[in-house]
């Protein structure tokens, strides 16, 4: 069976979870091709997947924040970009001739698929948006309401909506309830069966007793401020090593790090970031959904930083706080961030996950459930 996976390219969280699903499908003789733009495209390219390039559609913002008003101003280009995307989607579908199209948070794809009579599945962890909650601007509120109606109408035309999370974590509009299924997080491997942390540390040249922090901003170009702040206060952080991943949109050479400084290690990319998070004592990250799911799965104490005006990241943090392994602060509050880091490191052995909630969370196997739904769609064509 041939699958075309079309992925939202804002950040790498969408592409990361889609690749996890694709790797699983390939074990069952599925052939998968990829298409994206921006960070998603770069992530697929880095993994040597020869992705197809789609027209870009991004948020506007400054370092550390999403600019809702500026994004709205630029929205005049969205209809044109949407039409270009739909045309490109249709061209790819005709060229590749897939048996199924999977669209991750990309809503031009279901329309093109329906026109060409190809089954389509949507993957998303956000069906309600909510960015208008952060403003009194009536134009933004109207814009969100209009977009929500359009997305809902488009989603009704697909075969299924897969939510990569557990029940009751994502608000589902009533009209989409019969299409939507919580499948659990889409992860690259069974993290529970990975090698012990001690062995992983040894393989990377670290000792068991070193206090290690991992900092990641995923694929967001807006997270550069977080890296800058951590580097500036690195001498005050009570850790032996601070390992920073800049993501594919930011060059590590942009940061001024003393070559004699053995404490701060800066990298652009890892094929297995979860492994690095697991070997750390503490992970500091932007609050993307995929990163949150990975941190929760490995039960890693963490500090999650939301981009300003990013409603989904604030929702992710609120949910993660219930598991007792997450702390948070503003991206611009340097003093509190430093305090949280050192306090967490000092009491790291006392940070214990809410085991009852974790046991409920970990029972969901997203890739296996997605495969089951895909095969049901294929058998009922």
Model pLDDT for residues 308-367, shown as the tens digit of each residue: 878 889 999 999 999 999 999 999 899 999 999 999 999 999 999 999 999 999 999 999
- Is the pLDDT at 277 greater than 50, yes or no? yes
**What pLDDT, on the 0 to 100 scale, is given for residue 65?**
46
Q: Are 2 and 98 in contact (CB under 8 A)?
A: yes
360/16 Cα distance (integer angstroms): 23
The residue whose two tokens read 């095969």 is 375
Residue 312: CB atoms within 10 A of its CB come to 19
For residue 50, give Cα distances in angstroms to 70, 92, 128, 324.
Answer: 33, 14, 32, 40
CA pair distance 331, 350, nearest whole angstrom: 25
pLDDT digits (tens, 9 = 90+) for 223-273: 899 999 999 999 999 999 999 999 998 999 999 888 888 999 999 999 999
CA 56 – CA 196 distance, rounded (Å): 41
Tokens representing residue 330 in the block: 């503003």
59 pLDDT band (50/70/90 cuts)? Answer: low
pLDDT digits (tens, 9 = 90+) for 151-166: 888 899 999 999 999 9
Tell me what the mean pLDDT of segment 61-87 comes to: 63
What is residue 62's predicted lDDT score, i.e. its pLDDT?
52
Q: Do 102 and 4 touch, CB atoms closer than 8 A?
A: yes
* Separation CA 204–CA 198 (nearest Å): 10
CB neighbour burial string for 313-346, b if at least 16 within 10 angstroms, e if fewer = bbbbbebbeebebbbbbebeeeeebbebbeebbe
> What's the pTM?
0.90
Whether the per-residue pLDDT at 109 is higher than 60: the answer is: yes
pLDDT of residue 129: 62
pLDDT computed for residue 95 by the predictor: 97
Q: What integer pLDDT is reported at residue 148 of this predicted model? A: 75
Q: What is the Cα–Cα distance from 161 to 103, expressed in whole angstroms? A: 10
Quick one: pLDDT at residue 319? 95
Strands 61-62 and 65-66: antiparallel
CA end-to-end distance (rounded Å), the chain? 13
Per-residue model confidence (pLDDT) at position 221: 78
Report whether pLDDT(66) > 60.
no
pLDDT tens digit sequence for 20-47: 999 999 999 999 999 999 999 999 999 9
């Amino acid at each position: 069976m041939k699958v075309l996976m079309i992925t939202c390219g804002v950040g790498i969280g969408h592409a990361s979870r889609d690749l996890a699903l694709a790797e699983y499908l390939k074990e069952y003789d599925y052939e998968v091709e990829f298409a994206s733009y921006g960070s998603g495209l770069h992530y697929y390219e880095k993994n040597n997947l020869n992705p197809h390039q789609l027209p870009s559609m991004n948020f506007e913002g400054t370092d550390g924040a999403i600019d809702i008003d500026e994004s709205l101003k630029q929205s005049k280009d969205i209809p044109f970009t949407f039409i270009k995307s739909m045309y490109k989607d249709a061209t790819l579908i005709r060229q590749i001739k897939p048996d199924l199209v999977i669209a991750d948070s990309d809503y031009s794809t279901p329309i093109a698929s329906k026109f060409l009579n190809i089954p389509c599945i949507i993957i998303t962890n956000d069906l309600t948006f909510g960015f208008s909650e952060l403003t009194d601007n009536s134009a933004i509120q109207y814009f969100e309401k209009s977009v929500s109606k359009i997305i809902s109408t488009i989603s009704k035309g697909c075969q299924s909506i897969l939510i990569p999370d557990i029940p009751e974590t994502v608000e589902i509009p009533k009209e989409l309830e019969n299409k939507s299924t919580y499948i659990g997080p889409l992860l690259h491997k069974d993290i529970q069966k990975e090698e012990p942390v001690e062995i992983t540390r040894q393989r990377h040249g670290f000792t068991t007793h070193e206090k290690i922090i991992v900092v990641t901003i995923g694929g967001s170009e807006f997270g550069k401020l977080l890296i800058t702040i951590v580097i500036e206060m690195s001498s005050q952080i009570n850790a032996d090593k601070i390992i920073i991943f800049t993501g594919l949109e930011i060059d590590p050479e942009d940061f001024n790090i003393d070559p004699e400084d053995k404490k701060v290690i800066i990298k652009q990319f890892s094929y297995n970031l979860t492994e690095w998070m697991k070997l750390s004592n503490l992970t500091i990250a932007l609050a993307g959904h995929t990163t949150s799911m990975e941190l929760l799965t490995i039960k890693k104490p963490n500090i999650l930083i939301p981009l300003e005006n990013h409603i989904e990241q604030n929702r992710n943090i609120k949910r993660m706080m219930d598991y007792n392994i997450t702390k948070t602060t503003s991206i611009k509050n340097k003093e509190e961030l430093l305090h949280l880091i050192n306090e967490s490191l000092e009491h790291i052995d006392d940070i214990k996950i809410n085991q009852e909630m974790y046991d409920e969370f970990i029972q969901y196997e997203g890739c296996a459930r997605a495969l089951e739904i895909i095969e049901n769609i294929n058998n009922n064509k």
